[in-house]
Structure 1
Amino acid sequence: MQERVTNALLPRVRLGVLALALSLCLPLPALARQGGASASEASAVDPTASRPSADAPNADGWLRVQVLLDRAHFSPGEIDGVHGSNTARAIAGFQRHQGLETSGELDDATWRALTESAPAATVAHTLEAADVAGPFVDLPEDMAAKAKLEALGYESPEEALGERFHASPDLLRRLNPGARFAAGESIRVPNVLDGVAPLPQADKVVVDKSDAVIMLVDAADKVLAQYPATMGSEHDPLPIGEWTINGVARDPVFHYNPDLFWDAEPSDEKAKIPAGPNNPVGVVWVDLSKPHYGIHGTPEPSTIGKTESHGCIRMTNWSAKALSDAVAPGTAAVLRE
């Protein structure tokens, strides 16, 4: 059984048509979210906030921690100012990288290493017309209805800006109370772009099921970057083994076949789902030598690391982009328990 992802735009690596079984690539229902108070309930952000702790939630401090981890290429996933499982995984990865005790907890040594450069947690960004031009669309849930759209674009300026600055739309609203998100407006955004060192090419990609992370590793086996991920389920397990990357497709078109989904509705029909950030596989497909499997983006960044998948490996769209820029055809991909 095969389905296809095709390219709406010319990919960095020309692959033509990429085959995959789509029973591997849609999210399953979300697990309970971990963390403290919601970001929308937190106070205004202090970019110089002191070290927070999991026992005493501090939205200002956790926002700064998440931004600093993101800048160091140890991604906490969608930045929301809330301590949770993805942030703990990112802290543990950063600790290993720094040669510190690996606890996943923000101890004094980790805080000192993380804040050594001490950039501001947020920066001002003046919205240009292109930032808020859209077109923004109301997305239907039904696959057949999605297939009728020209593209699966963003639903709001906040969603588009959230993906650009690795943040939840709720966080952007909290940082900018009363903002209209209109051209000419100055807003505060997470400081995740300016002055961030680019990633070198990776020697291999390691997908770790037990930690629910993807790592980019160099030839000396040093971790260059780490990202939270969603991978596999009881029905569609992760294909453990050593594979290689065939290539990268950007802005893929998704070919939905309900016959391949154990949880599809009986009334569902085949559908060709257009490209866009809200496409079921996001904006990037990294094709693996294991037939029908790949690493890809998602339309739901808040679910990464907190749901199961139909077998493929899902990341936030921005993490999938970063990974795709650091790999090439032939790069090793190790999928392990």
Structure 2
Amino acid sequence: MKSILQSAALAALIVPVLSLAQGAPADAPALMRALEASAIQGDLKDDANAPARLRAQILLDRMQFGPGEIDGRWGSNTERAIAAFQRSRNLDASGSLDEATWQALNTDAAPVLVEYRLTAQDIAGPYTALPDDMMAKAALPQLGFASLAEALGERFHASPALLEALNPGADLTREGTTLWVPNVQAAEPAKAASVIVDKSDASVMLRDAQGHVYARYPASTGSEHDPLPIGKWTIKGVARDPHFQYNPKLFWDAEPGHKGAKIAPGPNNPVGVVWIDLSKDHYGIHGTPEPGMVGKTESHGCIRMTNWNAATLANAVAPGTPALLQQ
């Protein structure tokens, strides 16, 4: 996974949030007050709408129409998530956060940020720097987190850079340090009657027996070298914390001299924390060690999601669940 990047730029996006809270009581964090009071002021793409944009991403995540990694920025994942949410509520699927959509999102009244205090276990890890080379990864007994910042990003569905911007100067080496984090606690979605993987929308969707889409997650869905296998398939089963059987013959970009290897489990495993097996040989829906790349880069034919979205999906399917892979 990527380390903290562009935190200064992200911190700059939080400045409008803080400016909204001037003059408020000192007993409440300025950022929290601003986010709870945020409203749309023109185009959500404008940095003046940083509070509303961040709030929208967190609310969408809780309603199972998340943007993938919550980062406070405008991008294609956020725009597609808004459009999918709008379709699910019979609103105009513009991808823009109009007033009707804003009201529908804000029926969820729970705080969008909550306090989290670092524990001794958080500090202890263990954390291990991970090599890029697949053969070097095969020699490791576990592919855990590389840092506490990375682990916190996974837990709270957020980019480490956003968490740093929300908590400038926070001491991540001290037990008891208090952080402000996205409140992503939500009920698990119901069991799906079917799953749809949509290449054009870069998404995985859950559908009920009436054909209504009630959850949608961003995904990377194949590449020119390994196209998505369009067609009707079924879910064969779910493997949690899987080993990864690396076969360089199946990777067009494998390094010369690479041999087959068994890669240990962990969030930084090439398929993340879960593998959802499809009836199409060698294909599945799985997690990833790079959540910020989901929906933005190609995959090796399989369907790649953030670890947290893949884990949620795994709980909503069962052997025999139909899976439609479409253009």
> Structure 1 length as normaliser, TM-score?
0.86
- Aligned twin of 1:41: 12
Q: Which of residues 296, 313, 333 in structure 1 aligns to 2:323?
A: 333
Q: Which of residues 108, 114, 122 in structure 1 aligns to 2:113?
A: 122
**Partners of 1:251 and 1:223 in 2: CA distance:** 28
Contact kept in structure 2, 1:248 and 1:287, CA below 8 Å: yes
**Partners of 2:308 and 2:130 in 1: CA distance:** 21
Greater displacement, 81-90 / 121-130: 121-130
State the aligned residue count. Answer: 300
Amino acid of the residue matched to residue 131 of structure 1?
D
Shift of 1:262: 1.6
**Partners of 1:126 and 1:40 in 2: CA distance:** 21
**Partners of 2:191 and 2:249 in 1: CA distance:** 38
Q: Which of residues 284, 299, 307 in structure 1 aligns to 2:289?
A: 299
Runs of 5+ in structure 1 lacking a partner?
1-36
Contact kept in structure 2, 1:126 and 1:184, CA below 8 Å: yes
- Aligned twin of 2:175: 183
- Aligned twin of 2:40: 51
Deviations 1:222-277 (A, max 9, x none): 11210000001111110011111000001111121222222222132322211100
Deviations 1:1-42 (A, max 9, x none): xxxxxxxxxxxxxxxxxxxxxxxxxxxxxxxxxxxx942432
Amino acid of the residue matched to residue 40 of structure 2?
R
Q: Which of residues 246, 269, 275 in structure 1 aligns to 2:265?
A: 275
Aligned-partner SS, 1:160: helix
Instruction: Choose between structure 1 and 2: higher helix proportion.
Output: 2
- Aligned twin of 2:27: none
Greater relative contact order (CA < 8 Å, ≥ 6 in sequence): 1
**Partners of 1:198 and 1:55 in 2: CA distance:** 30
**Partners of 1:211 and 1:98 in 2: CA distance:** 18
How much is the aligned-residue C-alpha RMSD, in angstroms? 1.6
Contact kept in structure 2, 1:39 and 1:59, CA below 8 Å: no
Contact kept in structure 1, 2:68 and 2:294, CA below 8 Å: yes
Q: How does 1:27-106 map to 2 (within 5 A)?
A: 38-43=9-14, 44=18, 45=31, 46-48=34-36, 49-51=38-40, 53-57=43-47, 58-106=49-97
Aligned-partner SS, 2:101: helix
**Partners of 2:302 and 2:128 in 1: CA distance:** 27
The 3 A distance-change label for structure 1 pair 305 and 38 is farther
- Aligned twin of 2:24: none
**Partners of 2:196 and 2:120 in 1: CA distance:** 40
**Partners of 1:102 and 1:138 in 2: CA distance:** 43
Q: Which of residues 196, 202, 216 in structure 2 aligns to 1:206?
A: 196
Aligned-partner SS, 2:239: strand
